[in-house]
Amino acid sequence: MLETLKVDTLFLLRVLAQALTLLLLVLIPAAQAAGPAPSAAADPALEKRVMAVAVELRCLVCQNQTIADSEAALAVDLRNQVRTMLREGRDEREVLDYMTERYGDFVLYRPPVKNTTALLWFGPPLLLGGALLTLWLVLRRRSRMPASEFDSDDDDEMAAAEAPPRQEPR
Protein backbone atom coordinates (compact mmCIF):
# COMPACT_ATOMS: atom_id res chain seq x y z
CA MET A 1 0.00 0.00 0.00
CA LEU A 2 2.80 2.39 0.96
CA GLU A 3 4.73 1.63 -2.22
CA THR A 4 1.64 2.35 -4.35
CA LEU A 5 1.22 5.68 -2.57
CA LYS A 6 4.86 6.59 -3.29
CA VAL A 7 4.49 5.66 -6.97
CA ASP A 8 1.25 7.67 -7.29
CA THR A 9 2.86 10.69 -5.65
CA LEU A 10 5.88 10.54 -7.97
CA PHE A 11 3.62 10.19 -11.00
CA LEU A 12 1.54 13.15 -9.87
CA LEU A 13 4.67 15.29 -9.32
CA ARG A 14 5.95 14.44 -12.82
CA VAL A 15 2.62 15.34 -14.43
CA LEU A 16 2.49 18.58 -12.45
CA ALA A 17 6.05 19.50 -13.49
CA GLN A 18 5.25 18.81 -17.15
CA ALA A 19 2.09 20.93 -16.99
CA LEU A 20 3.99 23.80 -15.37
CA THR A 21 6.70 23.59 -18.04
CA LEU A 22 4.11 23.64 -20.80
CA LEU A 23 2.37 26.63 -19.23
CA LEU A 24 5.66 28.54 -19.01
CA LEU A 25 6.51 27.71 -22.62
CA VAL A 26 3.20 29.23 -23.69
CA LEU A 27 3.24 32.30 -21.40
CA ILE A 28 6.84 33.49 -21.86
CA PRO A 29 6.54 34.22 -25.62
CA ALA A 30 3.18 35.90 -25.04
CA ALA A 31 4.67 38.17 -22.38
CA GLN A 32 7.62 39.05 -24.60
CA ALA A 33 5.33 39.89 -27.51
CA ALA A 34 3.33 42.34 -25.39
CA GLY A 35 6.16 44.91 -25.14
CA PRO A 36 5.87 48.35 -23.55
CA ALA A 37 2.76 50.44 -24.01
CA PRO A 38 3.01 53.17 -26.63
CA SER A 39 3.25 56.76 -25.51
CA ALA A 40 -0.11 58.37 -24.87
CA ALA A 41 1.02 61.80 -26.08
CA ALA A 42 1.18 62.55 -29.79
CA ASP A 43 3.39 65.55 -28.97
CA PRO A 44 6.98 64.45 -28.12
CA ALA A 45 7.71 67.75 -26.37
CA LEU A 46 4.69 67.26 -24.09
CA GLU A 47 5.70 63.66 -23.39
CA LYS A 48 9.20 64.83 -22.45
CA ARG A 49 7.71 67.32 -19.98
CA VAL A 50 5.38 64.65 -18.58
CA MET A 51 8.32 62.31 -17.97
CA ALA A 52 10.35 65.13 -16.38
CA VAL A 53 7.56 65.66 -13.84
CA ALA A 54 6.84 61.92 -13.46
CA VAL A 55 10.45 61.27 -12.44
CA GLU A 56 9.93 63.64 -9.49
CA LEU A 57 6.78 61.89 -8.20
CA ARG A 58 6.75 58.68 -6.15
CA CYS A 59 4.39 55.86 -7.04
CA LEU A 60 2.05 55.66 -4.06
CA VAL A 61 1.54 51.92 -4.60
CA CYS A 62 5.13 50.80 -5.30
CA GLN A 63 6.88 53.38 -3.07
CA ASN A 64 10.33 52.46 -4.45
CA GLN A 65 9.64 53.72 -7.94
CA THR A 66 8.71 56.95 -9.61
CA ILE A 67 5.43 57.12 -11.50
CA ALA A 68 7.55 57.23 -14.68
CA ASP A 69 8.97 53.76 -13.89
CA SER A 70 5.87 52.13 -12.41
CA GLU A 71 3.16 50.35 -14.35
CA ALA A 72 0.73 50.28 -11.40
CA ALA A 73 -2.76 51.51 -12.28
CA LEU A 74 -2.46 54.49 -9.92
CA ALA A 75 0.88 55.50 -11.47
CA VAL A 76 -0.64 55.37 -14.95
CA ASP A 77 -3.55 57.52 -13.73
CA LEU A 78 -1.17 60.03 -12.15
CA ARG A 79 0.88 60.23 -15.36
CA ASN A 80 -2.33 60.85 -17.32
CA GLN A 81 -3.31 63.55 -14.82
CA VAL A 82 0.13 65.18 -15.17
CA ARG A 83 -0.24 65.02 -18.97
CA THR A 84 -3.68 66.65 -18.80
CA MET A 85 -2.49 69.42 -16.49
CA LEU A 86 0.51 70.19 -18.70
CA ARG A 87 -1.68 70.15 -21.80
CA GLU A 88 -3.98 72.71 -20.08
CA GLY A 89 -1.02 75.07 -19.82
CA ARG A 90 0.19 74.58 -16.24
CA ASP A 91 3.93 74.50 -15.73
CA GLU A 92 5.92 71.72 -14.00
CA ARG A 93 6.12 73.56 -10.66
CA GLU A 94 2.32 74.01 -10.55
CA VAL A 95 1.81 70.29 -11.22
CA LEU A 96 4.26 69.32 -8.46
CA ASP A 97 2.61 71.79 -6.06
CA TYR A 98 -0.83 70.36 -6.88
CA MET A 99 0.34 66.77 -6.29
CA THR A 100 2.06 67.76 -3.04
CA GLU A 101 -1.07 69.57 -1.84
CA ARG A 102 -3.22 66.56 -2.67
CA TYR A 103 -0.96 63.70 -1.48
CA GLY A 104 1.51 65.40 0.86
CA ASP A 105 5.32 65.49 0.74
CA PHE A 106 5.35 61.69 0.53
CA VAL A 107 4.45 61.87 -3.18
CA LEU A 108 7.70 63.70 -3.93
CA TYR A 109 10.53 61.32 -4.76
CA ARG A 110 12.93 63.79 -3.12
CA PRO A 111 10.93 65.46 -0.33
CA PRO A 112 12.13 68.86 0.94
CA VAL A 113 14.00 69.20 4.21
CA LYS A 114 11.61 70.69 6.74
CA ASN A 115 10.28 69.94 10.24
CA THR A 116 7.85 67.24 9.09
CA THR A 117 10.53 65.40 7.07
CA ALA A 118 13.49 65.89 9.43
CA LEU A 119 13.32 62.32 10.73
CA LEU A 120 13.33 61.02 7.16
CA TRP A 121 16.48 62.97 6.31
CA PHE A 122 18.41 62.80 9.58
CA GLY A 123 17.13 59.55 11.13
CA PRO A 124 19.35 57.11 9.19
CA PRO A 125 22.62 59.01 9.84
CA LEU A 126 21.69 59.34 13.53
CA LEU A 127 20.95 55.61 13.79
CA LEU A 128 24.24 54.76 12.08
CA GLY A 129 26.12 57.13 14.39
CA GLY A 130 24.43 55.59 17.45
CA ALA A 131 25.27 52.07 16.29
CA LEU A 132 28.93 52.99 15.68
CA LEU A 133 29.15 54.70 19.09
CA THR A 134 27.67 51.62 20.78
CA LEU A 135 30.10 49.33 18.94
CA TRP A 136 33.03 51.54 19.94
CA LEU A 137 31.94 51.57 23.62
CA VAL A 138 31.47 47.80 23.74
CA LEU A 139 34.83 47.12 22.10
CA ARG A 140 36.57 49.62 24.38
CA ARG A 141 35.04 48.02 27.48
CA ARG A 142 35.97 44.53 26.30
CA SER A 143 39.57 45.56 25.58
CA ARG A 144 39.96 46.63 29.22
CA MET A 145 38.64 43.34 30.60
CA PRO A 146 41.16 40.73 31.81
CA ALA A 147 41.51 37.56 29.71
CA SER A 148 40.04 35.47 32.53
CA GLU A 149 36.66 37.14 31.98
CA PHE A 150 36.28 35.59 28.52
CA ASP A 151 35.23 32.03 27.65
CA SER A 152 38.02 29.73 26.66
CA ASP A 153 38.57 29.14 22.96
CA ASP A 154 39.84 25.63 23.50
CA ASP A 155 36.45 23.97 24.16
CA ASP A 156 37.19 21.37 21.49
CA GLU A 157 40.50 20.46 23.12
CA MET A 158 38.78 20.05 26.50
CA ALA A 159 36.03 17.90 24.99
CA ALA A 160 38.62 15.69 23.32
CA ALA A 161 40.53 15.32 26.59
CA GLU A 162 37.38 14.27 28.48
CA ALA A 163 36.28 11.74 25.84
CA PRO A 164 37.25 8.09 26.41
CA PRO A 165 40.24 6.97 24.34
CA ARG A 166 39.44 5.38 20.98
CA GLN A 167 40.28 1.75 20.57
CA GLU A 168 42.00 0.64 17.43
CA PRO A 169 40.16 -2.09 15.45
CA ARG A 170 41.96 -5.42 15.45
In order, the DSSP letters of 113-145 are -SGGGHHHHHHHHHHHHHHHHHHHHHHHHHHTS
In this predicted structure, what is the pLDDT of residue 110?
Answer: 86
Query: Residue 83 phi/psi, 5° resolution?
Result: -60, -45
Annotate 27-57 with DSSP letters as a single string. HHHHHHHH-PPPPS-S-HHHHHHHHHHHTTB
| Predicted local confidence at residue 81, as pLDDT | 94
Predicted model pTM: 0.53
What's residue 87's pLDDT? 93
- What gap in Å lies between CA 52 and CA 37, rounded to an integer? 18
Where does residue 23 rank: exposed (0-12), middle (13-18), buried (19+ CB within 10 A)?
A: exposed
Q: Rounded distance, CA 63 to CA 106, Å?
A: 9
Report DSSP state, residue 167: P
Residue 156: the pLDDT is 59
Q: What is the pLDDT of residue 96?
A: 94
pLDDT tens for the 170 residues of the chain, in order: 555 555 577 777 787 788 878 777 777 776 665 544 445 557 888 999 999 999 999 998 887 899 999 889 999 999 999 999 999 999 999 999 999 999 888 888 888 888 888 888 899 999 999 999 999 999 999 888 888 877 766 665 666 666 666 677 66
Backbone angles phi and psi of 16, in degrees to 5? -65, -40
CB 65 within 8 A of CB 74: no
Residue 108 is classified by DSSP as B
Instruction: Give the per-residue pLDDT at 131.
Output: 97
